[in-house]
Amino acid sequence: MSWSWNKLSAAKWEDAWSERIAGNPNAVITQIKGGKTIRIVVYCDTEQDALILKEHFGGSVREVKTQDWVAAQNKVPRPPLKIRDSLLITEQTDAEKLKALQQQFPKRRILSVPAEMAFGTGDHATTSACLRFICDFAKSRKGADWSMTDIGCG
């Protein structure tokens, strides 16, 4: 069991918060949609550690429940993710279901990414943006040899 301390702040204070939590591997700063607000989260081993942060900086404390993320991902099947007019990302691994998808989407390449084999399945905004970029680049190079490298930066 672990705990988190959470606080919202104006985005203009991001540098100050970054300095306060510099070097803490359990700290995350996320910009909220719209760009005017950030969320600061520090994950703590004990409730007391989180409460100390709350006492100093305000915010809130909550318990972080332990979850089996692979099991959670496999509970609710996600529909295939279409990238441009050329790619289809699916978590399907069953050969018959993959064949059915290929028949349903004959002009798309099918990419199977099981949840337990990867950090994501393409539906995160940055991942899908990269996939769109790759599709656009591939289309611009159609008929020519080209290659790419995934350097695994996350």
Q: What pLDDT, in 10s, does the model give residues 126-147? A: 777 888 888 898 889 888 888 8
How far is residue 71's CA from residue 128's CA, in Å, rounded to a whole number?
23
Fold of 2-64: Alpha-Beta Plaits (3.30.70)
Say if residues 135 and 87 touch (Cβ distance below 8 Å): yes
Per-residue tokens: 20 = 């306060």
Say if residues 2 and 43 touch (Cβ distance below 8 Å): yes
Choice between 71 and 58, residue whose per-residue pLDDT is larger? 58
Distances (CA, A) of 59 to 19, 50, 106: 18, 10, 51
pLDDT tens sequence across 94-104: 999 999 999 99
Q: Which of 88, 122, 94 lies closest to 108 in space, CA to CA?
A: 88
pLDDT tens sequence across 68-95: 766 766 666 778 888 888 889 888 889 9
Per DSSP (E only), the strands in 45-80 are 60-64
List every span in the chain annotated with CATH 3.30.70.
2-64
- Beta-carbon contacts of residue 30 (< 8 Å; ≥ 6 apart): 38, 39, 41
How far is residue 71's CA from residue 33's CA, in Å, rounded to a whole number?
29
The pLDDT value recorded for residue 152 is 67
